[in-house]
Structure formats: C-alpha cells, structure tokens
Amino acid sequence: MDLDFISRTFVRLIAAAPLTLTVWLLSVVFGALIAAGVTWLRVSGVKPFELFARGYVLVFRGTPLLIQLFIVYYGLASLPAVRASFVWPILRDAFNCAVLSLALCTAAYQAEIFRGALLAVPHGQVEAARACGMSGFLLFRRVIFPIAMRHALPPYSTEMISMVKATALVSLVTLWDVMSVALKIRNDTLVTYLPLILAGAIYFVVNYAIGAGFLALERKLTPHLRPRPI
C-alpha cells in the first residue's frame, strides 16, 4: 500500500470521471425535457393524456433502474425488429442506451417534482395575473414558472444527486465509468478497499459540489425569504 499505487489508482479513476459526468449531464438534460412533456400531459386536464402520464410515472418509479437499463441495452438489442429499424445505429451503442434509460427513469421522478411545484403556486397569483390580462405563455413565463421553479429546487437537487449515484449502474453495460475502473483495478490487483474508497471519494465530492451549488442557487433566488440585515 504505497503512495505510488494510491496516486496511480487515483489518476486512473479520475480519467474515467468525464464519462460518468457526461452520462449524468446528458441523461439529466434529456430527462428534464421528457419530464416537461410528461408534466404537461399530467396537468393537461385531458383524461387519456393524464392516465398516460400517471402510468409513465408509476412504471418508471415502480421498477428498478437496473432492470430498465437491461431492457434497453440487452432486451431491445435482441429483437430482430429493432435491429432492422432506423434506431439500431443509436441503440447498438452502450453509451446511448445508458443515457436513454437513465433519462427515461429520471424523467418520471422529475415530472413528479415539476407537478408538485406547479401545484404549490398560489391560486391568487394566477388570478391576479389573469386580472392584469396575462394569459398563456406570458402568464407561465412571468408568474407560474418563477414561483414553481423556486419550489422545485430543493427536491430537484436531491434528484440530481440521485442521478450521479445512478450513473454507477452503467458499469454493468460495458461502459468504463469510475465504478467499473475501480472494479477493474480491484480485480487486477486484489486490493479490496483502496480502489473502492477512492472511487467513493470522487462520487462524494461530485455530489457535495452539486448539493452546494443548488444551495447557493436557492439562496440567490430567494432573497425575500432571508432575514433582514440589521
């Protein structure tokens, strides 16, 4: 257990961090777009749309992400119809499959966060805006979105951190992220604790930074809730 081994292990793990972060960022962004659509269906007031959105959330939150990932990566790839279709060039790559299934899963959680945030917008604010003659997109942009976004921030930060942790699953579909590099080093050197501890430290620091970033954003966006300086 010399210092040289520690630093070499650390360098190899850090080299895998960009992949972990790329998977995270892409799945979170695509997930937010899908979630916006699901939320829109959920509050649309049209019964079939609403049922679809409810079903989507139930299925993706009620099953483990690991099995969703395997359905996309191993399952879809085994179907001849998929292999013959135009999506095959996308789905043949483990990276795309990982991003797709992580995005679909986080979309369900994010949709619930968005819905909760929309419901928390006081009705009086919307009425006041309508009384001033705002409607449609203007009403959303000026009144609903700014209020809802502030409500959504704390649970959203939790979801972002969950997603960093979830990216570790992509190690099981042949991608070389921090988790799989740590396991490879463990396998090759038979050193049990060190690679896993260093990998854990990397994940922890990333999560801590995301948590701190969201906290700072929340503080910046809610100056009216801060105690007045004396």
Binding site for another protein (CB under 8 A): 58-59, 62-68, 70-71, 74-79, 161, 164-169, 171-172, 179, 182-183, 186, 192-193, 196-197, 199-200, 203-204, 207-208
DSSP code at position 227: P
Q: Do residues 82 and 76 make contact, with C-beta atoms less than 8 angstroms apart?
A: yes
Alpha-carbon gap, residue 63 to 81, rounded angstroms: 25
Q: Return the number of the residue (99 or 182) whose C-beta is nearest another protein.
A: 182
Under DSSP, the state recorded for 75 is: I
CB of 198 to another protein, least distance (A): 11
Pick 44 or 63: Cβ nearer another protein: 63
Single out the residue of 149, 100, 101, 99 nearest to residue 121, CA to CA: 149
CB of 143 to another protein, least distance (A): 25
**How far is residue 224 CA from its own chain's centroid?**
29
Specify the residue for token string 């899963």. Answer: 105
**Least distance to another protein, CB of residue 194, Å:** 11
Q: Which is nearer to another protein, 65 or 143 (CB)?
A: 65
Q: Write down the least CB distance from residue 16 to another protein, Å.
A: 13
Of the pair 23, 143, the CB lying nearest another protein is at 23
CB closer to another protein out of 64 and 122: 64
φ/ψ of residue 125, rounded to 5? -65, -45
Does the CA dihedral 44-49-52-56 come out positive or negative? negative
CB of 68 to another protein, least distance (A): 7
Q: Which two tokens stand for residue 169?
A: 């699953």
Q: How far is the CB of 78 from another protein (least distance, A)?
A: 5
Element (H, E) at 124: helix 123-131
Question: From CA 17, how far away is CA 13, in angstroms rounded?
Answer: 7
Nearer to another protein, 152 or 182 (CB): 182
Q: Which of 165, 176, 206 is nearest to 66 (CA)?
A: 165
